[in-house]
Structure 1
């Protein structure tokens, strides 16, 4: 097993969440919040919420948030107590949390690639069905050049990877606001690896 091979047990995700507390809000979340405007008590769904850094940003912006995060021991520790009345937590993996609530914002940063291939289509269908008219979708997906796609120690089908054409097909029928592709070496919590990542922001028509 390589240094960067992900594991899939709750102990791993608890350890991952524990070291997330000091990082900034991810740029994908910042961009979609700026586009969507003040939450004004609208509903957001945060898939793979982890320690809750992006969840906390949504709550601060005035959203009510349903956070999906399986590692209950370390979930959402970044969320202040004062914001928790507007937070609902589902302690499960994304593929086990369906159906999702209807929402004006669905955010999934570094979550959907960890949905197994066998479950991905129904998860994506649920994500699309959850999005209300005028609602925003912000997602990270992994491309085929990612180091984990080439790692023989990862069981086939355990992670899901998409080509650019796949990503464009997944977004078909939505208004694509931004589609950014990164194919380069970058850091992880355990060093560096080659990332091939698509970050997409799209909107359902009103």
Structure 2
């Protein structure tokens, strides 16, 4: 197991995420979706809960899912205590066999950290969960990424990444293919940002 898959790695990573800005992809998806108004959002790989809190503050009911021990306590610190619109589930993606109907599913830098069979199964579950008119907003890793070749992760080429939205409307697409910083040190990032809306 590489260090980036260890519990200690993710504990350290999440400890340093609690005060960062809300990720651009989440903010863009929220802008496209409009105020939550009691609708349901799912935050997959919620980590320290920065995006979960932003969604709650915008009026969404949020199901937050992460595999790391202490997820609920960490989220409650970030959101400021128990929240009537928040549900927390601690489990690995490989154990997610169904999700409730949702108007927004967000997964920031989370989906690639599972092997291809698990990724494909979860993506099928995500597509089924998004209600007509709802959105999925995800980052997926490309084949030029420094970590490509790790069999415990998933990497897609551009055509495969776009195919995730087959039959849906792509509202946002961006490809990053450049060196940059990471929690574990400098690396080459190859990331596709995708926001897709399920057609009514």
TM-score interval (norm. to shorter)? over 0.9
Asked if structure 2 preserves the Cα contact closer than 8 Å seen for 1:114 and 1:159, the reply is: yes
State how far apart, in whole Å, the 1-side matches of 2:171 and 2:3 are. 31
Q: Whole-Å Cα distance in 1 between the matches of residues 39 and 197 of structure 2?
A: 15
3-state SS of the aligned residue for 1:50?
A: coil
3-state DSSP class of the match of 2:62? strand
Counterpart of 1:78?
78
Aligned residues: 197
TM-score by length of 1: 0.90
Matched, 1:161 2:155: yes
1:117-162 CA-partner distances (Å, limit 9, x unpaired)? 1212111100100000100110000000000015xxx4x2x00000
Deviation per CA, 1:39-91: give whole Å up to 9, x if none. Answer: 00100000000000001000000000000111132542321226x21110110
TM score, norm. by length of structure 2: 0.93
Aligned counterpart for 1:31 among listed residues 8, 21, 28: 28
8 Å CA contact 1:105, 1:136 repeated in 2: yes
DSSP 3-state at the match of 2:25: helix
RMSD: 1.5
Superposed, which structure 2 residues align to 1:162-177 within 5 Å? 162-177=156-171
1:14–1:73 Cα contact (<8 Å) kept: no
Q: Structure 2: 5+ residue runs without aligned partners? A: none
* Ranges in structure 1 where 5+ consecutive residues have no aligned partner: none
1:89 and 1:22 mapped to 2: Cα distance? 20
